[in-house]
Amino acid sequence: MASADFAVTTGPRGLGAQSPTSRTASPATLQRRIELLVAGPSLLQWLGGQEVQADLLVRNWCDDPDVRVAFIPHNPVAPRGLRWTERVPALRTVVRLPARLSSLYHAVRRSHIVHIFSASHSSFLIATLPAWCVARLLRKRTLIHYHSPRGSEHLRRSRLARLVLRGSDAVVVPSRYLAEIFAVYAVPTEIVANVIDAAVLRFRYRRVIHPRLVCTRNFESRYAVDLVVRAFAEINKEIPSARLLLAGRGPQEATIRALVAELELGNEVEFCGAVPRDRIGTILDRADIFVNASRMDNMPVSILEAFAAGLPVVSAASGGIPYLVEHERTGLLSEVGDASALAQNVRRIISNQALARRLAGNAFEESSRFRWPAIRAEWLRTYRALARVDAGHAPTRVQSGRAPAGADAQR
């Protein structure tokens, strides 16, 4: 053990861990190894899509023979005596910034590529911009990994965002939906899909589809969990044995609970709270139909997880979802904001078991594209293009503004 080459990796969960570079890697492999710094949101304070993707990316790269990874959080915990500032957003940002800039400087110096997770609007300024500036100051390769479904509005309003994105060595988005939006604003992108945590998911073949619904979206306005509840209310009138699991948390939770009470569904709807990542498979396994009604979306991991778990998917056709769910092949889609149409598609699933099994089977086959072996290959190709880590060559500078990836990467 003492002779192994170690890198300290602080993952999104905030836990420092020493990870051996590779006990079986050859000296030549170690010389070509990419030093990757991931700057992204931590799971410590919120359980959302970006947080999950940052966590999975870092954990999957740990102990990889081609990439050595380190992590620095966008949202570090304040010093003990200043923890109270976490409740005051603007003050929280001011308190965090000096220590974060110092940590970024030291971490970026040791990296070849800085992989920066990005959302839109204020998050772009507070989280993405400082990491990008430090990386550019130290002449490191910058990769902005943009996830927000509000990309069109953000780029239309923010000249700074357009300049930063165009000035990056690479911009990666998880869907063709976002790639097409960025192309309108002359921002070249590559597409690397979101990854699922296959270790926590179990495919279950459902010979009979029961009226057991599940929604694993957080209680935010854009995810429209209220419409899921209203659609379920229509189903429950016709099928009193129907049940709905809601797994998530957020600012709309009190409103959702009030709606459930108003519709007299207290015994039929179960609030599961914020489900830890290692238990999401258990929640999905309890249901037979996945329902999503989001008003605005990109490439939700929750739908990918439903694919992998064998659940037929019923969803609103918002944002990037039609690029992910093919109507009548891997799921059923309805107009955004229409709870009755959502309910009608649930009825189709329940009444047509052959359709349900066909959709679930096709979706499960599709899920293989979102597992780590496939996603790893895409990321490694992107990193190597940035770092030019070919046999016997050190990382070198590459031209920014590359065209979108080929058709094989289109999601």
Domains of the chain, CATH where assigned: 6-195+371-409 (3.40.50.2000), 198-369 (3.40.50.2000)
β-pairing verdict for 16-20 and 6-10? antiparallel
Q: SS3 of 37, please?
A: strand
pTM over 0.85: no
Task: Round to whole Å and give the CA distance between 115 and 242.
Answer: 44
Per-residue pLDDT, 246? 98
Distances (CA, A) of 67 to 35, 138, 347, 379, 389: 6, 20, 47, 10, 11
Helices of type H across 6-88: 27-32, 49-61
What's the pLDDT score for residue 204?
95
The helix (run of H) or strand (run of E) holding residue 170 is strand 170-173
**Is 238 exposed, middle or buried, given 0-12, 13-18 or 19+ CB atoms closer than 10 A?**
exposed
Q: How far is CA 54 from CA 223, 230, 308, 407, in A?
A: 21, 33, 20, 25
Dihedral over alpha carbons 371, 372, 377, 381 (to 10 degrees): 110
What is the rounded distance in angstroms from the CA atom of residue 296 to the CA atom of residue 373? 29
Amino acid of residue 355: L
DSSP letter for 296, please.
S
Q: How many helices (H) and strands (E) does the chain have?
A: 16, 14
Phi, psi of 333 (to 5 degrees): -115, 150
Residues of the chain with pLDDT under 70: 1-31, 45-47, 77-95, 389-411
The per-residue pLDDT for 19 is 43
- Rounded to 10 degrees, the C-alpha dihedral 44/48/54/55 comes to 50
CA distance 363 to 215: 17
Quick one: 194 exposed, middle or buried, by C-beta within 10 A (0-12, 13-18, 19+)?
buried
